[in-house]
Structure 1
Amino acid sequence: MRYSLTACFTLSLVVASLAEPTFGPYNVHEKRSAIPIGWSYTRRHESAATLPLRIALQQSNIEFIDEYLYDVSHPESANYGKHWTAGEISRKFSPSEEAVSTVRDWLVENGLESERIRVSSTKGWINVNVTVEEAERLMNTEYNVYTHVSGQEHVACEAYHLPEYIGTHIDFVLPSVNFDVKLKGRSGSQPEPGRAIGQPGVGTTPKTTGTISQTVTELEQCDQYITPICLRALYELVYEPVATEKNSYGVVEYTPQAYLQSDLQMFALNYSTDLLGKEPVMVSIDGGYAQTEYQGFDYNGESALDLQYGMSLVTGKQNVTLYQTGDMVEGASFNNFLDAIDGSYCTFEGGDNYTVDSQYPDPYGGGYEGPEDCGTVAPAYVISTSYGYNEAELTPFYTARQCAEYAKLGLMGVTILYSSGDYGVAGHGDYCLNPNGTQSSTGTIFNPTFPGTCPYVTSVGATMVKPNATVFQAQPEMACMEVIYSGGGFSNYFAMSSYQKTAVDYYLQNYPPDYPSDIWNSTGMSRALPDISANGANYVVAVDGQFELVYGTSCSSPVSGAIFTMINDARLAIGKGPIGFINPTIYSAGFAGAFNDITEGSNPGCGTEGYNATAGWDPVTGLGTPNFPKLLENWLALP
């Protein structure tokens, strides 16, 4: 049942190679094919300068993590639903003494005094301050200084090499090829869009076609205006929660995205009166708060959408936790959130990468000065996130480390949902890949999104009610093709998981995409997305005191999360556990027909029509949209 965290097929796109031979006894460990847009080579780094090397040690048993997860997640397993504790996970995946001693001995043998070498308390990483000359000799590389158009400098190498016997114990070394620099925006009165998820224009964000003046209440208008009553009708969500004290649903937002309580109450008054007087239970992570300094759709639209619909569908009886992550200066990444809900992740496989992830206390001053949140927050049973990166923006090692954390959360019984993106087969911003691995608006190679490509999350695409159709029809929905296109396709980093092989093989055999193999991952062995879908068009959302029409897979993820939260409620009410990682279950034969199959529409991008929605799973709408009564019946029958 095992499947690899990183795929061995990569078109010509992957920026790392674990097996490429090079001179002497060394192998290439990581390699980058191009300098990112906006950066340029400036000079060789001074040989006498100090370089703080951070060596991420490989975890014990990490190669079996999928088998462990499958064991508690597949409905035919004798251990289905027997989720692990955080302590069990920490003990299982701690690096071995052999890894620590082998890497430390290698450093000493290469002339580094033992007193300079520091091993973290969790044995997850080794720190050693070296000169650039020492680092270059140690890893057969050259360190350069690169300059961004903003003037910011960054130290990196094009590739680095490690002895084969050392490479098996090391996941990655920092600094090295990683170029995902989070640009600092501290001078202006308004934060600059940078690497931080949550900044306007970064990653997945909902789209709007503007304001609407009338209040919409009729089910007959769901092809033009989606409200909670439309979603309940589409997915037959008729359920009142009864185990609310045992259950939990979390929605993640990244500052400066923030909701306004006045908008939530405006929405409640018109469409969900049981939310009157209610607000989410806000948990601040790394200085996060519901900021009001900046308002407008770019700052309030995402949070307003997620909370108004997520809270409405679980009803006012069920508390919803808002994980508000990152301050106004540093912002935050997915890793910062993951650190907070799992303390072992703070140092897992070397800890965070501060060229991508925000660092707290703020080392530059002016931001959150408190300690980094590590294991300070309890994870909800279902967590929905409507943000994402392009997979190609991050290195395979970075994505593999984060993907393993989603597997750990699944082992603990947590359901993780991510929206699949709004640009069809193109990446966020409508960027596609070039043959050299860079991204551009003129690229022609399909550009999948992360974390949706991680096999341990559930990726959610978008549908829409067909024009002039009603929710009373047998098949009222199609793939979303208004304003946004449902993100979907095939990963260039991750291998196909065993749970989806039958469904994806059927698609590839019966509906093979008619595109050259050099513009999409046609190997038939890669992680395919999305897994499921839900409506993502024409949502009526209260934003800054007025109702707007909103579109995006940003709508689909919190709606799906609410539905799975209600299924958890029913299980918890009869003494069963949460559904946890759902992918092996929803792809299983026992759940055939539990989703409404979507067979119309496509997801254009990269100068193509994209993929087509077809009978069965497809890389536009996945298995389809939730049928709540069937899903509930099936899950209640499981242990």
Structure 2
Amino acid sequence: MLGVTLILVFCASQALSSPSPWSFSVHERRASIPHGWSRIDTPVPTTALLPLRIGLKQSNIDRLNDILMDISHPDSDNYGKHWKAEDVKTFFRPSEGSVSTVMQWLEDSGVNRARIELSSGENWVHVKDLTVAEAERILNTEYHLYQHTDGQARLACSAYSVPSHIQSHIELITPTLHFDGRAPPGKRNTHSPLAKRKLQVSNPDPQLAAADDLSNCDVRITPPCYRALYNIPAEPTIRAASNNSFAIVEYTPQAYIGTDLDSFFQLFRPSLVGSRPELISIDGGVVQTEEMDFGVNIESNFDLGYAMTLVGPGQPVRLYQVEDIVEGSTVAGFNDFLDALDGDYCTEDGGDDPSIDGIYPDPAPDGYKGPKDCGNKPRSHVISVSYAYNEADFTPFYEIRQCNEYGKLGLMGITFLYASGDSGVAGNEELCVFPNGTQSEDAPLFNPLFPANCPFVTALGATQVDPGSTVFDPETAAALTGGGFSNIFALPAYQKKAVEKYYKFHEPPYGADRYNNSRKARGIPDFSVNGVNCTVVALGRTIAVAGTSASPPVVGAMITLINDARIAAGKSPVGFINPAIYSDAFKGAFNDIVSGNNPGCGTDGFESVEGWDPVSGLGTPDFQKLLDVWMSLP
């Protein structure tokens, strides 16, 4: 397994008993009900059907980390030798032994073999037409009805068990504990633990000077400010566009407005006026125009405006638009997106967890009636994602399985960039965590974000130009920037030296009652770029926004330009970048950030200090220095 559970999540065995020839062990348990939900006393209909899915243990998953490090570290002879998708599928396919053992367990539990299906990727077992009563017996559990404050309701259990001999053959079972993300089909609402709009308006009407003026970057950041801050070429030469790809991920109803993009391009890259991203629709995703306001247009307008402007007119940019309009208002998981990239990850019959992920064809009256996208969408070399959950929203098994998928896609040469959060050491909605896992604004424990906590993605924080300073002065860490240490994932080897140095010289003034101070946890973020007072056009207005959402598309543009140069030289794209950027080869390629902090959970948070820290990471990048080092690698 990739990581270690650093906060107690799996507790004593379920108190239920069931006549069985096996000894049962608790596989997953929730210590508390997720934020906003409460259990209600309405009896659960035992004849209701549950689409039970069992995620099989993947073969060789314990070797994923070492193999990915081997092709991603600049000192390795195998640097840049990315795997083909078919090789990844074959290497990690669950063993025949795991498949047969799980199948036999279900049959011995009274499930007819005709009701048991194996997914096309051979990593999920699906039990058809299973009743609640059957699921409770097979999993030695009890389902209850839970309701959210916004009216959503669903069935879930607080724990489930499997025979002891089954545990080593499975990763997780759904639907069980993971009921945070979606309402019943067809019901529209705005609730979701996913931060769908991380950018916040910081200056409603910034004063704009000439497009190339750098004198006002302390009050409004523009593409020229980014170029000056991080040494990005104003007119990049694109030479490998047909073999290079850069994609932005958006979740419906979030959508860009074409006229707003043109207004932004007119200010900062006139040659792009009329240009649009290549739409890659996932599960009926559309650039919708039914709902238009700052809340649904700022994010996409910003991401695409800066991505396209910074890479220039020669580099196409893709837009992965995820979920149809109906599901997009209620579904918030990342699995539907990952399913579309990797057919060996998904279940073609409707999502990895129907309580979180979209069901396609969508049964809602206005839903997308096409088949679920499953490994049929093109994979881009760089993928920028400005959305996140709180780490405490899901169970460790759920997050570990998804994190491993980022690692497997990293083996194929993909760079994943995720925002670290906008609430300092707190999570979305300023939520912190009690020791039992309950989330509240009044809780004491820091609450990092997922998937930024995953060691196989690059987590990006935010900095700012201090008032009265220029782009040529040192930046400060933005107070909003998410940072800290994971409660689930272990300290990756590539980060070990940096984190050990941090603790040796700058140990935080908090104990285990505030954060995971084991010194063995994944640190967040990896590095940062400016995310305060960023200029964007939305609904015809030029405004300034703030948030770590700004970081992935800006960094994505830089990595894409580096990939362009490498591919043009006959080299591979950079792929998973973390082992490289933490290595000695990249010393001096980042501008150290030594001021600022990220308050939250009733504290001042962590402090930016010399070297890596859990506020700004390694600092901010110098594009030209990064390019020079990466071009020197094979």
- TM-score tier, shorter chain, comes to over 0.9
Whether the aligned pair in 2 keeps the contact of 1:345 and 1:351 (CA below 8 Å) is no
Q: 5 Å matches for 1:532-611?
A: 532-611=527-606
Structure 1's 138 and 373: CA in aligned 2 closer, same or farther, altered over 3 A? closer
Whether the aligned pair in 2 keeps the contact of 1:207 and 1:552 (CA below 8 Å) is no
When structure 1 is superposed on structure 2, of 418-427 and 347-356 the one drifting more is 347-356
User: What is aligned with 2:255?
Assistant: 258
User: What is aligned with 2:336?
Assistant: 336
Question: 1:15-35 CA deviation, whole Å, 9 max, x = no partner?
Answer: x46999999832210101112
User: What is aligned with 1:195?
Assistant: 192
Whether the aligned pair in 1 keeps the contact of 2:390 and 2:447 (CA below 8 Å) is yes
Q: What secondary structure is seen at the aligned counterpart in 1 of 2:344? A: helix
Question: 1:365-388 CA deviation, whole Å, 9 max, x = no partner?
Answer: 321111111122211111111111
Supply the AA of the counterpart residue of 1:588: S
Question: 1:103-144 CA deviation, whole Å, 9 max, x = no partner?
Answer: 122223333333333333432222234444443333322222
When structure 1 is superposed on structure 2, of 510-519 and 236-245 the one drifting more is 236-245
Whether the aligned pair in 1 keeps the contact of 2:282 and 2:321 (CA below 8 Å) is yes
Supply the AA of the counterpart residue of 2:304: L
Supply the AA of the counterpart residue of 1:204: K
Question: 1:547-591 CA deviation, whole Å, 9 max, x = no partner?
Answer: 001111111111111111111111111111100000000001111
User: What is aligned with 1:209?
Assistant: 203
User: What is aligned with 2:217?
Assistant: 222
Q: What secondary structure is seen at the aligned counterpart in 2 of 1:401? A: helix
Q: What CA distance in whole angstroms lies between the structure 2 residues aligned with 1:270 and 1:101?
A: 61
User: What is aligned with 1:76?
Assistant: 75
User: What is aligned with 2:430?
Assistant: 430
Q: What CA distance in whole angstroms lies between the structure 1 residues aligned with 2:615 and 2:410?
A: 24
Supply the AA of the counterpart residue of 1:25: S
Supply the AA of the counterpart residue of 1:575: G
User: What is aligned with 2:27?
Assistant: 29
Aligned-pair identity (%): 49
Whether the aligned pair in 2 keeps the contact of 1:460 and 1:533 (CA below 8 Å) is yes
Q: What CA distance in whole angstroms lies between the structure 1 residues aligned with 2:589 and 2:11?
A: 40
User: What is aligned with 2:284?
Assistant: 287
Q: What secondary structure is seen at the aligned counterpart in 2 of 1:502? A: helix
Q: What CA distance in whole angstroms lies between the structure 1 residues aligned with 2:108 and 2:317?
A: 54
> How many residue pairs end up in the alignment?
622
Q: What TM-score do you get using the length of structure 2 for normalisation?
A: 0.93
Structure 1's 308 and 148: CA in aligned 2 closer, same or farther, altered over 3 A? closer
Q: What CA distance in whole angstroms lies between the structure 1 residues aligned with 2:190 and 2:418?
A: 21
Structure 1's 18 and 202: CA in aligned 2 closer, same or farther, altered over 3 A? farther
Is it true that 1:242 corresponds to 2:239 in the alignment?
yes
User: What is aligned with 1:498?
Assistant: 493
Structure 1's 22 and 170: CA in aligned 2 closer, same or farther, altered over 3 A? farther
Q: What CA distance in whole angstroms lies between the structure 1 residues aligned with 2:272 and 2:467?
A: 31
Shift of 1:434: 1.8
Q: What CA distance in whole angstroms lies between the structure 2 residues aligned with 1:307 and 1:131?
A: 45
Supply the AA of the counterpart residue of 2:111: L
Structure 1's 491 and 630: CA in aligned 2 closer, same or farther, altered over 3 A? same
Shift of 1:244: 2.0
Residue 607 of structure 2, aligned match among 589, 606, 612: 612
Shift of 1:310: 0.9
User: What is aligned with 1:300?
Assistant: 297
CA RMSD in angstroms comes to: 2.3
User: What is aligned with 1:384?
Assistant: 384
Q: What CA distance in whole angstroms lies between the structure 1 residues aligned with 2:14 and 2:464?
A: 46
Shift of 1:319: 0.9
User: What is aligned with 2:450?
Assistant: 450
Structure 1's 260 and 113: CA in aligned 2 closer, same or farther, altered over 3 A? closer
Q: What TM-score do you get using the length of structure 1 for normalisation?
A: 0.93
Whether the aligned pair in 2 keeps the contact of 1:194 and 1:202 (CA below 8 Å) is no
Whether the aligned pair in 2 keeps the contact of 1:183 and 1:195 (CA below 8 Å) is no
User: What is aligned with 2:2?
Assistant: 5
Q: What CA distance in whole angstroms lies between the structure 2 residues aligned with 1:174 and 1:488?
A: 30
**What are structure 1's unaligned runs of at least 5 residues?**
none
Whether the aligned pair in 1 keeps the contact of 2:462 and 2:551 (CA below 8 Å) is yes
Supply the AA of the counterpart residue of 1:365: P
Q: What CA distance in whole angstroms lies between the structure 2 residues aligned with 1:510 and 1:153?
A: 49
Shift of 1:41: 3.1
Q: What CA distance in whole angstroms lies between the structure 1 residues aligned with 2:521 and 2:262?
A: 44
User: What is aligned with 2:464?
Assistant: 464
Q: What CA distance in whole angstroms lies between the structure 1 residues aligned with 2:504 and 2:16?
A: 39
Q: What CA distance in whole angstroms lies between the structure 2 residues aligned with 1:349 and 1:571?
A: 39
Structure 1's 29 and 44: CA in aligned 2 closer, same or farther, altered over 3 A? farther
Supply the AA of the counterpart residue of 2:430: D
Structure 1's 183 and 112: CA in aligned 2 closer, same or farther, altered over 3 A? closer
Q: What CA distance in whole angstroms lies between the structure 2 residues aligned with 1:396 and 1:627?
A: 35
Q: What CA distance in whole angstroms lies between the structure 1 residues aligned with 2:350 and 2:324?
A: 24
User: What is aligned with 1:369?
Assistant: 369
Shift of 1:593: 1.3
Structure 1's 169 and 348: CA in aligned 2 closer, same or farther, altered over 3 A? farther
Q: What CA distance in whole angstroms lies between the structure 2 residues aligned with 1:64 and 1:266?
A: 49
Shift of 1:500: 0.4
Q: What secondary structure is seen at the aligned counterpart in 2 of 1:322? A: strand
Q: What secondary structure is seen at the aligned counterpart in 2 of 1:274? A: helix
Q: What CA distance in whole angstroms lies between the structure 2 residues aligned with 1:28 and 1:214?
A: 59
Structure 1's 203 and 395: CA in aligned 2 closer, same or farther, altered over 3 A? farther
Q: What secondary structure is seen at the aligned counterpart in 1 of 2:545? A: strand
Supply the AA of the counterpart residue of 1:266: S
User: What is aligned with 2:275?
Assistant: 278
Q: What CA distance in whole angstroms lies between the structure 2 residues aligned with 1:50 and 1:546?
A: 49
Is it true that 1:311 corresponds to 2:305 in the alignment?
no
Supply the AA of the counterpart residue of 2:322: T
Whether the aligned pair in 2 keeps the contact of 1:203 and 1:428 (CA below 8 Å) is no
Q: What CA distance in whole angstroms lies between the structure 2 residues aligned with 1:122 and 1:581?
A: 24
